[in-house]
């Protein structure tokens, strides 16, 4: 079988270039996009994510406002900032980088962001809209997976799709999006019995399980398309996914590498949501 790598770096660059052109057009119509990015505390991984999000804004021509708050910030202080940003007409999108320090209730924060500015797509109103097929912001990582599949010529309609993982930000919206594309969807999780057998049915297997290299050839149907959402740093400093790439590569038709697969798509889809806010 000829193995094809699904190149998330290339596809995300294409999407960002399309958005950049669209932002220019919108500017000619007097419409400007502005994303407010809020970071609380000094988690190094979060700082890198925020930096990359700001860089992407700059690339596509979107203004970004940065709010870097100390780890001691109270819930009330953060909610007050969100309230100000909700009321500020010059701000189209609000992103609060997760995780938040333990004194702040993440669910309260997610619900405080106005749904029409919730470019992460985490607000229950947007999640509900996705479920019933109405317009709303879609969570960026699963939206990125759909783009990876579509832009690499994988048709979803009628396919057996298995998603491993049922988190609110990846697994569940992933299942709903695949269903929306007319896939036949199974969502597997930590209590699933016979996981290998279920995964072996999949024409499209999405691993969002959070366990390094858990998915081996024993989970793969010959010729399947495999999307690896996991990101883990190994002891040798290199990154790996939830899929054991070397063990599955001779059994799949297409697969996303880690790094360079799903990772870069998340930011591209965030940018898409920011532009959507002004469309």
Write out the residues near ligand NAD by the rule CB under 6 A: 141, 164-167, 169-171, 188-190, 192, 195, 208-211, 229-231, 242, 262-263, 266
Please state the closest distance from residue 32 (CB atom) to ligand NAD, in A: 27
Closest separation between CB of residue 177 and ligand NAD, Å?
Answer: 14
- 120 classed as catalytic: yes
The answer to whether 239 touches 259, Cβ cutoff 8 Å, is yes
Query: What is the smallest separation between the CB atom of 261 and ligand NAD, expressed in angstroms?
Result: 8
CB of residue 147 to ligand NAD, shortest distance in Å: 13
> Do residues 170 and 229 touch, judged by C-beta distance below 8 A?
yes
HEC string of 176-198 equals HHHHHCCCEEEEECCCCCCHHHH
Taking the least distance from each CB to ligand NAD, the nearer of 213 and 254 is 213
Q: State how far the Cα of 184 lies from the Cα of 165, in Å rounded to an integer.
A: 16
In whole angstroms, give the CA distance from residue 8 to residue 86.
Answer: 33
Task: Tell me which of 16, 53, 159, 172 is the catalytic residue.
Answer: 53
Question: Quick check: is 29 catalytic?
Answer: no
Buried/exposed 19-43: b ≥16 CB within 10 Å, e otherwise: beebbeebeeeeeebbbbbbbbbeb
Q: By C-beta, is 81 or 248 nearer to ligand NAD?
A: 248
Q: Nearest to residue 163, comparing CAs of 182, 183, 140?
A: 183
167 vs 253, beta carbon nearer ligand NAD: 167
**Minimum distance of ligand NAD from residue 209's CB (angstroms):** 4
The structure tokens 């366990």 sit at: 211
Instruction: Tell me whether residue 152 or residue 192 sits nearer to ligand NAD (CB atom).
Output: 192
- Considering beta carbons, is residue 159 or 166 the nearer one to ligand NAD? 166
Angstrom distance (rounded) from CA 105 to CA 99:
10
Pick the closest to residue 168 from 204, 224, 130 (CA basis): 130
For ligand NAD, the closer of residues 252 and 258 by Cβ is 258
Output the smallest distance, CB 180 to ligand NAD, in A.
19
Inter-residue contact 24 to 275 (CB < 8 Å): no
Active site residue 125: no
Say if residue 68 is preceded by a cis peptide, omega within 30 of 0.
Answer: no
Closest residue to ligand NAD, based on beta-carbon distance: 167
**Active-site residue identified among 7, 16, 118, 120:** 120
- Residues involved in catalysis: 53, 97, 120
């Amino acid at each position: 079988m000829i193995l094809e790598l699904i190149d998330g770096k290339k596809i995300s660059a294409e999407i960002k270039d399309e958005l950049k052109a669209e932002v220019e057009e919108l500017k000619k119509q007097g419409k400007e996009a502005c994303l407010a990015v809020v970071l609380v505390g000094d988690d190094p991984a979060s700082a890198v994510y925020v930096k990359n999000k700001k860089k992407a804004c700059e690339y596509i021509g979107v203004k970004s406002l940065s709010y870097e708050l100390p780890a001691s910030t109270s819930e009330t202080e953060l909610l007050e900032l969100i309230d100000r940003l909700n009321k500020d007409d010059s701000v189209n999108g609000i992103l609060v980088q997760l995780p938040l320090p333990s004194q702040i209730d993440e669910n309260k924060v997610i619900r405080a962001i106005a749904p029409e500015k919730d470019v992460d797509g985490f607000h229950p109103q947007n999640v509900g809209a996705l479920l019933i097929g109405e317009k709303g912001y879609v969570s960026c990582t699963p939206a990125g997976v759909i783009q990876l599949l579509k832009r690499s010529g994988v048709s979803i309609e009628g396919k057996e799709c298995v998603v491993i993982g049922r988190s609110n930000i990846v697994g569940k919206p992933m299942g709903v999006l695949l269903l929306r594309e007319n896939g036949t969807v199974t969502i597997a999780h930590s209590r699933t019995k016979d996981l290998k057998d279920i995964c072996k049915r999949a024409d499209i297997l999405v691993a969002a399980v959070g366990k390094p290299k858990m998915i081996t050839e024993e989970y793969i149907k010959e010729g399947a398309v495999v999307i690896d959402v996991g990101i883990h740093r190994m002891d040798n400093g290199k990154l790996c996914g939830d899929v054991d790439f070397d063990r599955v590569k001779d059994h799949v038709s297409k697969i996303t590498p880690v790094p360079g697969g799903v990772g870069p798509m998340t930011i591209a889809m965030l940018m898409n949501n920011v532009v959507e806010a002004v469309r």
